[in-house]
Structure 1
Amino acid sequence: MKRLKPKMIFSLRLTTFISWFRRNFGLTDVLNGAGNKKIKVFVFITSLGLIGIIGAIRFFIGPELALSIFYLLPVFLCSWFIGRSAGVAVSILSALSWLYLDLLSKDYFSHFLIPFVNETCRLSVFLIITFIISALKITLAQEKTLASFDYLTGVTNRRVFYELAGIEIDRFRRYSHPFAALFIDIDNFKKINDTFGHQLGDALLYTVANVIKDNLRSTDIVSRIGGDEFAVLLTETNVESAKMISPRLHTLLTETMKKNGWAVTFSIGAAAFSHPPANIDELMRKLDTLMYGAKRQGKNSIKFEAII
């Protein structure tokens, strides 16, 4: 019977090990995290391929050159694009791959324990880097969230509203999908703050934001763009729908304020666009004009306009 060459034996054993790893370490669970699953699958397979390539190079050139630093690439890819669990798994796999190659070259070392000590140190470095990278990504994600949302009300802030409204304008210009927008100002809010304090004022703002958000679609955008001002972007909304939404929101907000004993009302500027505005500045000017038109009507009212 023809004996297999050492290189072929290495390849077969590495393939067997990878298969065992995938069965026992829950690759499917690793890949089911948040984000694009296809990207995660691609990154994980690429990382396994890199481990195999690095191992093959190490096998051919021997133990004299320290190539273990190149394992940081698959460790980084998995830690960043998939998550901490995948980073830990790839770190372990990388260390075991290098240990296996060291054991094939055991005559090179003065003591049989040296490969185990070396790989323990390498694994420690891989794991430290994995935890640093995953923690960094989590921190960046949290910072991005804080930069996008109003900390008091939990709705998006002015910057996000401007960005999304700009995207909606571009989408309308390209696909002719109508949208509407509202500018809601809380009448007499300053009096509430001055009389009852900022704590009650904060509770009022939080309540207003949630009443608006809870009574719109998940695709609509609610943003706090000023101290007592909110803007709403109603995607895929025609003139008829916008005419119904504005009074309904006004009624819900008014009833909620009365229920809580808060003496405030709402002036709403509403515009339904059958023709896209030139830019976000034109959109906001129109909404601002309509909102102040509602205030000039005596406050607690709606000023609506269909932009054709």
Structure 2
Amino acid sequence: MYDTHRHLLIIKKIDGIDKRYLFALLLALQILISVFDYITGPLTPFTVFYLIPIITSAFFLSRYFTVSLVLIATTGWILDFMQLKIADTSVLTFHVVSKIILFSSFAYLTSKLRSLMNELENQATVDLLSGALTRRHFHEVCQTELARSLRYQYPISIAYIDLDNFKSVNDKLGHGMGDKILVITAAAIKANLREGDLFGRLGGDEFALLLINTNRDEMEIIMNRMRESLMKAISLSQTEVTYSIGAVTYLSGMPITIHALLEIADEAMYAIKNSTKNSIKFVSI
């Protein structure tokens, strides 16, 4: 059975290697292949071995590195082929061109495959409408950050944001206007995030934030400023949309899951939504 998650982890681990170091390894491998090709003679098929560094480079490195390996592979193949001592240069030219086309084609197709994989991964991790993380990816990344906060003993805060009167906007003005409201909301939220903070879309009109190394006082300052920014941005839409927000700051250091923290923030949000709406409830645990 194909283990997609495991293979994606392997790819990410290789992506984390210094590009110059990886290229040096592939360059050494390509030269080694050329040497073995020359030693074994021109009648030994070595083309598939030349492709290994090229395909690897096309998948993990830039075009510049890949072109370099294509030229080195072609040079190695030429030196091997010249052992046949064929006088007709047109034969050599034909084979050189064919090898360059072959190597380049594999490099091009591999780079296209990587681009497609990146696009599919992006679609799986980022909500296309709002630019926020998808629910699943937000949970995964937040769980990692929560584990780090437990290890290093620093506070984190989570906010659950729900749009008030959003359903009436969809019903009266259409889903196009609803999408516009979501885009405006997402843009206002992102404009108030700090580097390292996480932003996810949990459902139709529900968003969540994870603020790293943020205590209760800092959380109140950030969320009050964000709410003001949200209301200013949404006022331009001339709708009745407002924001109910539940915010929880985790300080205890006791083991807890991100799902449990989101539930607490969700409960705080609904406490506001079922009373005054258009406000924030802060909780510390």
Unaligned runs of 5+ in 1: 1-34
Query: Equivalent residue for 1:223?
Result: 200
Aligned pair partner of 1:286 in 251, 255, 264: 264
Q: How does 1:1-308 map to 2 (within 5 A)?
A: 39-103=18-82, 105-107=83-85, 109=86, 111-276=88-253, 278-307=256-285
1:56 Cα deviation (Å)? 1.8
> TM-score normalised to the size of structure 1?
0.82
Q: Secondary structure at the match of 2:223?
A: helix
1:110 Cα deviation (Å)? 6.9
Show CA shifts across 1:97-128 (max 9, x none).
2112322x143x47443333222222211111
Aligned mates of 2:233, 2:146 — CA distance in 1: 32
Q: Is the 8 A contact 2:38 2:80 kept in 1?
A: yes
Range 216-225 or range 79-88, more displaced: 79-88
Aligned mates of 2:145, 2:24 — CA distance in 1: 37
> TM-score normalised to the size of structure 2?
0.89
Q: Secondary structure at the match of 1:134?
A: helix
Give the letter aligned to residue 49 of structure 2: F
Aligned mates of 2:141, 2:252 — CA distance in 1: 17
Q: Is the 8 A contact 1:75 1:91 kept in 2?
A: yes
Show CA shifts across 1:116-158 (max 9, x none).
3222222211111000100000110111111111111112121
Range 169-178 or range 62-71, more displaced: 62-71
1:306 Cα deviation (Å)? 1.1
Aligned mates of 2:62, 2:69 — CA distance in 1: 11
1:88 Cα deviation (Å)? 2.6
Larger Rg: 1
1:297 Cα deviation (Å)? 2.2
Q: Is the 8 A contact 1:84 1:131 kept in 2?
A: no
Structure 1 pair 55–256 and aligned structure 2 pair: CA distance change class (3 A): closer
Give the letter aligned to residue 298 of structure 1: T
Unaligned runs of 5+ in 2: 1-14
Aligned mates of 1:60, 1:227 — CA distance in 2: 64
Q: Is the 8 A contact 2:127 2:134 kept in 1?
A: yes
Structure 1 pair 251–112 and aligned structure 2 pair: CA distance change class (3 A): closer
Query: Equivalent residue for 2:9?
Result: none
1:286 Cα deviation (Å)? 0.5
Q: Is the 8 A contact 2:155 2:213 kept in 1?
A: yes
